Amino acid sequence: MSNAECSACGAPARVICGNYEFVESGLNRVTLQGIELIDCDKCGNQDPIIPHVNDLMRALARAVVCQPYRLQGQEVRFLRKYLGMNGEAFARLLHIDKTTLSKWENDRQEVGEQSDRLIRMYALVLGEGLQQEQRQVVQDCFPRIGDSTRSVRVWINSSTMAYSYA
């Protein structure tokens, strides 16, 4: 256990190991497991220490692309951002109106099943570090995509970057 400083109140804080709700990803259902946290007794703030952020974001992108339920708004937005695209560029790529994309991203319209696959395909083809997994993902994960839009939680082990759904 080492010492650190709280980013919120500046008080001395402990470094502990725990789980962290990774809302900074833009997804509200991601838990990082076994991560170091700067834990402040004084104000209750917790800051994660994320050592390999690129590896983590890639694991998360893969988890979203492989999720066995239809993509919801926040997941579409996450994948678009993973590709470093703004709404206009991504809408053009998908050959849709950008207001349609905006409705998808804000859960005001359901993403169609073919568009769902297309978004995942673009992520696999253009997403940083995902190319070598294309064949396996399309063959193994795509057939398991269900028709329902259940919200799924992603758990990522922050040492191995292995992920699971719950």
Interface residues with Zn ion (CB under 5 A) are 6, 8-9, 11, 40, 42-43, 45
- Please state the separation of Cα 117 from the chain's center in Å: 17
Distance in Å, CB of 43 to Zn ion, minimum: 3
Distance in Å, CB of 144 to Zn ion, minimum: 43
Q: Where do runs of H (alpha helix) occur along the chain?
A: 53-66, 73-82, 87-94, 98-105, 113-126, 134-136
CA distances, 73 to each of 64, 79, 105, 131, 138 (Å)? 12, 10, 4, 24, 21
Closest to Zn ion by CB, 3 vs 139, is 3
Strand 30-39 and strand 3-5: the pairing is unpaired
Distance in Å, CB of 22 to Zn ion, minimum: 20
Distance in Å, CB of 24 to Zn ion, minimum: 18
Closest to Zn ion by CB, 44 vs 51, is 44
Indicate the residue type of 155: W
Closest to Zn ion by CB, 8 vs 50, is 8
Closest to Zn ion by CB, 43 vs 89, is 43
Strand partners, 164: 155
